[in-house]
Chain A
Amino acid sequence: MRAFDYQRPESAEAATRAQSGAEARFIAGGTNLLDLMKLEIETPRTLIDISRLPLDGIAPTEAGGFSIGALVTNAALAADPSVRRLYPVLSRALLAGASGQLRNKATTGGNLLQRTRCYYFYNPATPCNKREPGSGCSAIGGHTRIHAILGTSPHCIATHPSDMAVAMMALEAEVEILGPDGQTRTIPLADLYRLPGDTPHIETSLAPGDLITAVILPPPPPGRQLYRKVRDRASYAFALVSVAAIIAMENGRISAARLAFGGLAPMPWRDREVEALLIGEAPSPALFAAAADRLLATARTEDGNAFKSPLARRTLASVLATACAGNS
């Protein structure tokens, strides 16, 4: 870990101004950043501690949804009675992530911005385009069990590891951002993330000084909400494949469908064509297979992650069957 300066601004506005300088990082729970600093993968000159700013509330919005402060911990968000009642997919996704200790420290904003868990990204002795642009990707041709099959590029096949963000993607959450100019803007969560392309080190659309202050949940959509995470052990493992599903049925047919996927892509993955294919149809194994075909049409696999195609296919079928059953 390199030596760094530490600042604790009194306001969000002061924090954004402080961070707009070079090589500064916000720190809240620190559950990912500190690990990366110990390995000198992150080497900020300045840490701006935002953990005591008043951004830890959960409040209803006029639109009928909820605003979740960026500093609400994963544990608090998962346990919030309104979230549990109205957004069970989110509560379940949170509880499927990390461990109790980590969820007590990790925050909503930090969770969105956690870095990939690519093994090679974490080993400074190996090339990584995300860590050192232009140095090459060690994962390609290497051990790729946890790597992406959708949205990748020849420069990077890392996944985004969050469970929470997958549920928020299905909920069509928006991200509230305070810029260093003092202006607040709100963007869809999908627009926060960038696919790797030839710049895998640029992961989000945030500019220097931008501070996520809240996540806005729209009113809960109709339908049954499920979060299914498939992983190598029963807890404390990142998703091989995860599915957030919100499915509504009318008269035996799917009337509304939202699906988001984790473990498959460099960002929480949503494919509206898959959803469109389901809407208006009666559930059947053939329909679910067609949805999986559509989802995986652009999949690009390595030897080590090729199993994710059949796994995603089978997990989707299982989730859809469960979501459609007993849901009228």
Chain B
Amino acid sequence: MNITFKMDEPVGSSLLDHTRQNVISRPIDRIEGPLKVAGRARYSAEFKFPGMVHGVLVGSTIPAGTITGINETRARALPGVLAVVTDYETFLRNPGQGLETEAPAQGVREIAYFGQPVALVVAETFEAARNAAGALDIAYAPAEARLDFRALQSEARPKESSQKSQGDLDRAMMDAAASIDAVWTTPSQNSAAMEPHASTALWEGDTLIVYGAYQMLSSDRQQLADALGLAPDKVRIIAHYVGGGFGAKLGISQESVAAALAARALNRPVQVVMTRQQVFEATVRRSETIQRVRLAAGADGRLTGIGHETITANLPDEDFSEPASASTQFLYGGEARRFGNSIVTLNQVLSASMRAPGEAVGMLALEGAMDELAEALDIDPVELRKRNLPPRHPMDDLPFSSRSLAECLDHGASAFGWADRNPRPANRREGEWWIGQGMAAAARSNMLITSSARVTLGTDSRALIETDMTDIGTGTYTILAQIAAEMLGLPVEAIDVHLGDTAFPAAAGSGGSFGAASAGTSVYLACKRLRETLAERIGATPEELVLSEGMARRGNAAKPFSELVTEPLVATATVEPGKTEENFVQAAFGAHFAEVGVHVHTGEIRVRRMHGTFAAGRILNEKTARSQCIGGMVFGIGTALTEELVHDTRLGTIVNHDLAEYHLPVHADVPRIDVVFLEERDHAANPLLAKGIGELGISGAGAAIANAVYNACGMRVRDFPLTLDKLIAHLPDPDAVQP
């Protein structure tokens, strides 16, 4: 039984609102949790095979130039070394972007950035391979490198597809009762997933099997096959568990191709695990941005114009550009509008999708500007936002599929106690701390990506879900089991979920906040098909059918599955995006509130509490969804206050290429965080009526913190992260300000 469903029309209702099993949405624990805490969930670098050997990548020590020769003598002489694998043409120069189906940039004789992997040293042990990697002598002809983003910003080339304009923004700015025209800058960042990039490769005949730490297996398989000149069905990628990705594992990275080549050359399984430094130097980063935001408003606070223009950086021949204005384009109204990106070519590691590409840094600028506008007009920041919610998309004239933003703003303000905030900055002091409060809206586009799943209802009243969807720590195993349990009237414990293997039907993968809704819909559709079969078997219409406790019922008649299912029932379903994505603006929304302390002497900033109210359609599991939002808000702390990937503009090196010096928030930086979900259904999104939530928590969170910093100490810093050195020169005299 194969069915395909295309999302061309809004769905009237979802079975999930009628099955009444009280399983969907319940905040149950992750079903794979016990495996993880017991160390029995195996990650890509934890697979061991007979004869397996270890490879360590060797990175370039110049940022631009050409390899003139590799001398293997010293490396090969070391104990345990088996091979130095080089393949100038086939090795990946760059990692892949998400959803691409062709190989990423290949060819490593030319050096495009410091740390670019150019060879693989293989040895009996990881330690021997690492030792020998350091002894590989590589000669280079260096070329002039482009390393200084800010110095080169005037050379940025426009990205044509991103340029959008409506009306006359310059005129609107001139005629405005109040306007903001300022530049925000955000630094280079790294996803910093806990699990490093890793691949374990082995060949079975002419088929390559890679245990790889990847987020989107079906497209990753195509990338890997293309890179190696194989047919996609000769490549199998397995990733049962992924230790975080945050965008850095959307496409394949260099270790997979190197491991595959080495495994073929040596005819042994080869495991390649990137070092932490290599993860920083050679995988994926978020570009630094320079964002100019313009707001023009009347005295009533209604926007008459809005502009959001962004300069980003990327490697030569790469055109991904951080879409900082993504949500700006539909979040607020204003007739005159201008958006666009331009790209500076840099010899720095690939810029690609990382943690809410666009909103994570774009909302810092937009929502900072809105805070400044609110102050200029003496309008409450919550009220200013509510006054500017457009009835339809301001440029495309499309309706919103669902948008509970005003409700989120009101609920969040009330729950946080926003009414008690003193709008005058540097006016509340507790001991040596100025206290401030800030808020920001949250918005993140919703997407549906083609996704398939197979559901088998066994003769033992258990169901099996199979799809190559991944669980990157988000709760996919759990929500898919909940959807099937709810649909089939089985306990969650009776659902087996097998993920992360391209031998299963191809799924959307984890990325862009679309994983749960896309993969979840395929499971829903397959279960719906199974319900139809069960209905036929007890002579009921699908509408009459009630499934619960392993029984199929029609009115007072009931039969156990064990009588109805004598052979396993299999349904495979595919969901595809359709016209609803063209006919509606789809996004999840929310409101962030934050309270911070700024130390009056040192300028240290500590977040004291955060609140987020979100609406994202149906919430599939209130616990995993809440955890996702909390995680996003924690990354919001990092985005606002601590994270900065530092590139040495002389040497091309990444200065802070480890987790000691690349500062993510630690436990002590994270205060109490409250998360509330408002009830919502989105009928244009998918048959689950759910919207993506993975990136909603970070969108706007950092802006709420930055706005709170201003409220605390009166310092408006537009250069992120807000480290104390940017405050200290301008802090008011602590002895002059009395509480």
Q: Mark B632-661, 1 if CB is under 8 A from A, else 0.
A: 000000000110001010110101111011
Complex interface: chain B residues within 8 A of A307 (CB): 724-725, 728-729
Is A138 part of the contact surface with B, judged by Cβ < 8 Å?
Answer: yes
Is B188 part of the contact surface with A, judged by Cβ < 8 Å?
Answer: no
Complex interface: chain B residues within 8 A of A141 (CB): 650
Complex interface: chain A residues within 8 A of B130 (CB): 1, 38
Count of residues in B whose CB is under 8 Å from the partner chain: 41
Complex interface: chain B residues within 8 A of A2 (CB): 131
Contact B606 A234 (CB under 8 A): yes
Interface residues on A, range: 35 or more
Given A233-B642, A317-B601, also A117-B666 (CB < 8 A):
no
Give the interface SS of chain B, mostly helix, strand, loop or mixed. loop
Complex interface: chain A residues within 8 A of B79 (CB): 3
Contact partner, B602, options A1, A142, A145, A311, Cβ 8 Å? A311
Q: With both chains docked as a complex, state the minimum distance between the C-beta of A322 and any C-beta of chain B, in angstroms.
A: 8
Given A1-B130, A117-B661, also A143-B601 (CB < 8 A):
no
Is B560 part of the contact surface with A, judged by Cβ < 8 Å?
Answer: no
Contact B668 A233 (CB under 8 A): yes
Q: Mark A98-125, 1 if CB is under 8 A from B, else 0.
A: 0000000000000000000101101111
Given A40-B134, A230-B604, A318-B601, also A236-B660 (CB < 8 A):
yes
CB under 8 Å from chain B, chain A span 141-179: 141-143, 145-146
Give the interface SS of chain A, mostly helix, strand, loop or mixed. loop
Q: With both chains docked as a complex, state the minimum distance between the C-beta of A230 and any C-beta of chain B, in angstroms.
A: 5
Q: With both chains docked as a complex, state the minimum distance between the C-beta of B124 and any C-beta of chain A, in angstroms.
A: 13
Q: Mark B599-623, 1 if CB is under 8 A from A, else 0.
A: 1011110100000000000000000
Complex interface: chain B residues within 8 A of A117 (CB): 660-661
Contact A126 B602 (CB under 8 A): no
Contact B602 A318 (CB under 8 A): yes
CB under 8 Å from chain B, chain A span 235-289: 235-237, 240, 285
Given A3-B131, A237-B663, A315-B601, also A119-B655 (CB < 8 A):
yes
Contact B725 A142 (CB under 8 A): no
Residue of A nearest to B664 (CB): A233
Residue of B nearest to A125 (CB): B61
Is A5 part of the contact surface with B, judged by Cβ < 8 Å?
Answer: no
Contact A143 B602 (CB under 8 A): no
Q: With both chains docked as a complex, state the minimum distance between the C-beta of A158 and any C-beta of chain B, in angstroms.
A: 14
Residue of B nearest to A122 (CB): B658
Docked pose: A119 CA to B660 CA in angstroms: 11
Q: With both chains docked as a complex, state the minimum distance between the C-beta of B576 and any C-beta of chain A, in angstroms.
A: 44
Residue of A nearest to B607 (CB): A234
Is A314 part of the contact surface with B, judged by Cβ < 8 Å?
Answer: yes
Docked pose: A90 CA to B650 CA in angstroms: 40
Given A123-B653, A314-B601, A318-B602, also A235-B729 (CB < 8 A):
no
Docked pose: A236 CA to B659 CA in angstroms: 10
A-B contact pairs, 12 of them (CB 8 A): A141-B650, A142-B651, A143-B655, A143-B656, A146-B661, A234-B668, A235-B668, A307-B728, A315-B601, A317-B601, A318-B432, A318-B599
Chain B interface (Cβ < 8 Å from any Cβ of A): 61, 79, 114, 127, 130-131, 134, 432, 599, 601-604, 606, 641-642, 646, 648, 650-651, 653, 655-658, 660-661, 663, 665-669, 723-725, 728-729, 731, 734-735
7 additional A-B residue pairs with CB within 8 Å, beyond A236-B666, A307-B729: A125-B653, A146-B661, A232-B723, A236-B660, A285-B735, A307-B728, A318-B599
Shortest beta-carbon contacts, A-B, top 6: A307-B725, A234-B668, A235-B668, A318-B601, A314-B601, A125-B61
